[in-house]
Structure 1
Amino acid sequence: MPDREDIIERINLYGLAMDTQRWDLFDQIFAEDVDADYGATSHWTDRARFKADFGAFHELFDATQHAMTNHLVKVAGDRASSHTYGAWRLIRHAAGDPPVWDGTGYYDDAWRRTAEGWRIAKRVCRVVYWTGNPRVQTPMEEIEFQLDLVSLRDEGRAGRLNFLKAIS
């Protein structure tokens, strides 16, 4: 499979891994030493911890849906960059009415080719917009997520988008 298609396949596999809670699939997506930055209160530098924490957090949802779209990929030898839009739906009936939290944002990924294939070495995920019941998104009182909203325009102007650097 050509590199670009392989990377897109792994990006889409992430959505399936999330929604089926098959955290073992993260081994096919992320490097063992991944730097996964999902915001101020959600940052991991170890795949095992990332999997464990995501598993604990997502276990409390009745259902989730992660849609990955608008794939952009730039390959340069054994390194690559990708930019993907994400749309997320979290459902937790115990949170009250409505039982839904919807968010949209993006994933800005740096990839490296390993003996096992392409893996995400660094991921930045940011939320651009959300709506719905905020209690759905914070199902555990001891877990507090800080959802700072960003715009791609501002992130690009500030030089914080890896993919824009890769294509410049």
Structure 2
Amino acid sequence: MGTTSVESGPVRELLDRAAITELIYTVARAMNARDWDLLATCYAPEAVGDCSNATADGREAIIAGAKAFLDPFDATQHLVGNVQITVDADTRPGTATAHATFIAQHVRAEATGGGHYILGGDYDDNLRRTDEGWKITRRRIRGTWGDGDSSVLSLPVPVA
């Protein structure tokens, strides 16, 4: 019986999928904690953010946009699931795409209509393996439904 190298196709793909899933969860954790340094580690320097209401070119612009959107809230909780990943191991240094769904609760006590807004939607990511691990090179965020007090939002979020 032969040995399986970590660099072999199936093992490498499993490790890549685990690392990408962890990265997607780290983005959510960083946003909820307002940990902008941690959030920055998730993106490549040249990353592009494509949200329903804004586009950001570069990691610093993505972080600034996230901060402007999230800082007015008293709390947020992003729950991410249904992560599906396609790894293109034949490319160097390695690329992948990922799709995930989210439900994000936004709380703002000073809002006039109850203070809670829930948004559901999709994250679609392009990723690249780097010396520091997997990084997001493009994230597309699309809200597909919303419910609650939209006055919670300082920036409107279009829902498809």
What TM-score range do you get, normalising by the shorter chain?
Answer: 0.7 to 0.9
Counterpart for residue 16 of structure 1: 29
Q: Please report the TM-score for the alignment, with normalisation by the length of structure 2.
A: 0.85
Q: What pairs up with 1:63-82 in 2 under 5 angstroms?
A: 63-77=75-89, 78-82=94-98
Partner of 1:100: 116
Unaligned runs of 5+ in 2: 1-13
Tell me how far apart the structure 1 counterparts of residues 81 and 108 of structure 2 sit (CA, whole Å).
Answer: 24
Say if 2:146 and 2:159, in contact at 8 Å, map to a contact too: no
Alignment of structure 1 residues 135-146 onto 2, 5 Å: 135-138=151-154, 144-146=155-157
Query: Under a length normalisation based on structure 1, what TM-score does the superposition of the two structures give?
Result: 0.81
Show the counterpart of 1:52: 64
> Is 2:95 the counterpart of 1:113?
no
Which residue of structure 2 aligns with residue 29 of structure 1? 42
- Does the CA contact (< 8 Å) of 2:101 and 2:122 recur in 1? yes
Identity among equivalent pairs (%)? 30
Q: Tell me how far apart the structure 2 counterparts of residues 56 and 129 of structure 1 sit (CA, whole Å).
A: 22
Q: CA RMSD in A?
A: 1.4
Residue 146 of structure 2, aligned match among 106, 112, 130 = 130
Question: Over alpha carbons, which structure has the higher Rg?
Answer: 2
1:4 paired to 2:4: no
1:91 is aligned with what amino acid? Answer: V
C-alpha distance in 2 between matches for 1:53 and 1:125: 13
How many residues align structurally?
A: 143
